[in-house]
Structure 1
C-alpha cells in the first residue's frame, strides 16, 4: 500500500484512546504526541527529564487547549525506572490503546547503564523490550491496540547482533553499536508480532523509521563532521514534524497491518511522505529473532504474558 502525501491531517480521530509516547519532550516524539493529543487522545509523555516534559506539555496545550496530556518519569536506560514507570502506568491506565517506542540515543561516546548494558543497546532495545512486556496486558486488553517500534535504516549499515559481546566490552564502535540497537528493534518488532498473532491477539506491532531528520538525536555526531551536517542536513533531511509521519501512520491509519515497516518515500528513504519500505534480510532471520528474544528476557528479567 503506497500513500501519496499522507500528512498529520490524515490522522483519524483519536478521542477515547490512551497513547504512551516515549521520549516525547522533543523531536519526533514531541510531534507524535502533539498530533495525537490534537486529535483527541489522552497522551502520556514518558520522559527522562520531567522539567523538559512539562515544557513540552505546555507547548502542546498552547496549540490544543483541550488536549489531555499527562507526564510519566521514565529512564529507559535504567531497568528499575522502567519497572516503576510500568507499575504507575498500569495502575493509572489499565487499558492502553497505543504505545510508541520512540525514545533513543544515537552514536554517543562509550557509556554503560546502571544495569551494566551498553547505553544504546540498553536504552534503544532493552529498555523498550522491558517496558512493552510490562505494559502488554494493558495493551492486549484493548481490541486492535498498537505497539509502534521506531527503528532506523541505520539497522542496515553493517548491523548485526554481536551475541558474543552484546555490551561492547572488548571494543567499542559507536556507529556499529547504534546499528546493532536498531537491528534489535526490527527483530523485536517482527518476533513480537508473530507471538501476538500466535496468541490470537488483535494487538499489532508495527515498525517505522523517520529517514534523515534534523533532531536532537544528532547531538553526538562526530565533531569533525558536525559543521558539514549543519550545511547538508537541511538539504537531505527534514523537520521532525515530517519525520514523525511514518510512526504516526503506523500508529493510527486503519489500513496498517502488523509486521509492516513504514518510512519516507523519497530518495534513499531520507525524507518524504510515509510509504511501506523494506528492512534488511538480517531483520527477518527467525533464528536471530528468537535468540535475541530469549537473551532480552534473561537480561531484563521480563517475561511476556503471551
Structure 2
C-alpha cells in the first residue's frame, strides 16, 4: 500500500475504526477518507455505491458494524442480522463495482462453532452449531467472509477477512445494557469503588475462558497485513492466550482499586465455554500482539469517559 494511497476507513468513530485511523496516521498515511453516519448511511445501498464510484479508494478497511454484548445480541437479533448483512453487502459489492481491488473485512471470533476444538483454527469455520445468543450476528459475519472469498474467486479481488478475538481499549462502549464483558467489568468495578460497595456482580459463573486483544494491537495487525498480500482470505487476530472470566474480574478489580468481593450471578448466561484463537497463520506472516492484558486494562481504564 503506497503512502499516498486513498484509504477508506468505515466506522472511524468506533473503537476499531478510530484505532486503525490512529495507526495509519502514525505511519504517515495522510490520504484517509472517512464519513460519519449523517454524511453516509451505510444501510443505503444507492448512497454507498454512488460514494464508492465517485471516490474510488485504493483500499478499504471495513470497521463499521452493529455490535454489542450478550444481552444486546440476544435481544435485538433481527437488527444485528439485517444491519450487518446490509452494511457489508453494500460495501463489498459497491467496492467491486467501483473497481476497488483490495479490501479488509473485520469480523469476530464468534463466527466459529460454540463447542469448537481449542485453539480455534480458521478451517474450523462452519464445522458445527453456533452459540445461540449471538447466532444472528455470527451468521451475518460468516456471510461477509464468504462474500469476500467468492469475489476473490470469481473476480480476482484481494479481499481479506480478519477475525479478531474479544477487543477492548479507547472508544469502547461502556453502556452496561449492551457492552461487552471487559468494559462492563471495568465500569461496574469503578462505580462500586466510588459508592464504597462491599461487592460487585459479574454475570455467569466466572468459569468460561476468553482471550482479549488491545484494540491498538488489532489496528497494528490490520495495517501490517494491508502492506502485504497475505494470500489467505481468512486470518485470526489475537494473542493466543486466554483467562477465565473470574481471573479477568480479579485483574480489573486490582487495576480499578476496588477492594470488595465479586459475586457471580449464575442465573445469567455464560455464553460460549471457551474461545481461544489459533494465531499461527498470522505469526507465520511475522506479526504478534504486543500489549499484555494488565497493561491494556490500565490503558483502557485511563481512557474511559467516566475516569476523569
Does the TM-score normalized on the shorter chain lie above 0.5?
Answer: yes
Tell me if structure 1 keeps the 8 A contact 2:23–2:216: no
Q: Please give the alpha-carbon distance, in whole angstroms, between the structure 2 residues aligned to 1:228 and 1:15.
A: 38
Deviation sequence 1:252-283 (CA, Å, 0-9, x none) = 2x242252424125222399994369xxxxxx
**Larger mean Cα displacement after TM superposition, 21-30 or 120-129:** 120-129
CA distance in 2, matches of 1:120, 1:261: 23
1:205 is matched with which residue?
Answer: 159
Measured in 2, the distance between the counterparts of 1:265 and 1:103 equals: 23
Instruction: Report SS of the residue matched to 1:275.
Output: helix
Contact 1:236 1:270 in 2 (8 A): no
2:168 aligned counterpart, secondary structure: coil
Distance in 1 (alpha carbons) for counterparts of 2:113 and 2:187: 19
Q: Deviations over 1:11-47 (max 9, x none)?
A: x6x4221111111113111111222234224111233
Alignment correspondent of 1:296 = none
SS at match of 2:164: coil
Q: Is the 8 A contact 1:210 1:271 kept in 2?
A: no
1:266 alignment partner, SS class:
coil
Q: Within the alignment, does 1:75 sit opposite 2:41 as a pair?
A: yes
2:29 corresponding residue in structure 1: 40
CA change 1:213–1:25 in 2 (3 A) is same
Q: Which runs of 5+ in 2 are unaligned?
A: 115-124, 127-131, 190-205, 242-275, 286-308
Higher-helix-fraction structure: 1
TM-score, reference length from structure 2: 0.56
Match of 2:61 in 1: 100
Deviation of the 1:156 alpha carbon: 0.5
Contact between 1:86 and 1:134, CA under 8 Å: does it hold in 2? yes
In structure 2, distance between residues paired with 1:191 and 1:261: 16
TM-score, normalised to structure 1, is 0.57
Distance 1:17-1:111 versus aligned 2 partners, 3 A rule: same
Q: How many residues align?
A: 210
Q: Separation in 2 of the partners of 1:226 and 1:217?
A: 8
Displacement of 1:237: 2.0
Which residue of 8, 17, 20 maps to 2:5? 17
User: Following the alignment from structure 1 to structure 2, what is the Cα–Cα distance between the partners of residues 271 and 237?
Assistant: 13
Structure 1: gaps (5+ residues):
1-11, 51-72, 113-117, 161-172, 198-202, 278-306
Residue 218 and residue 122 in structure 1: after superposition, are their counterparts in 2 closer, same or farther (change >3 A)? farther
- Classify 1:239/1:265 alpha carbon distance in 2 versus 1 (closer, same or farther; 3 Å): closer
Q: What are the equivalent positions in structure 2 for 1:155-234 lying under 5 Å apart? A: 155-158=111-114, 174-197=133-156, 203-215=157-169, 216=172, 219=175, 220-221=178-179, 226-227=184-185
CA contact (8 A) 2:236 2:279 kept: no
Deviation at 1:181, TM superposition (A): 2.0
Correspondence for 2:110: 154
**Structure 2 CA distance for partners of 1:96 and 1:75, relative to 1, 3 Å:** same
Matched residue, 2:89: 129
Residues 176-205 of structure 1 show CA distances to partners (whole Å, capped at 9, x for unaligned) of 2222222222222221221223xxxxx301
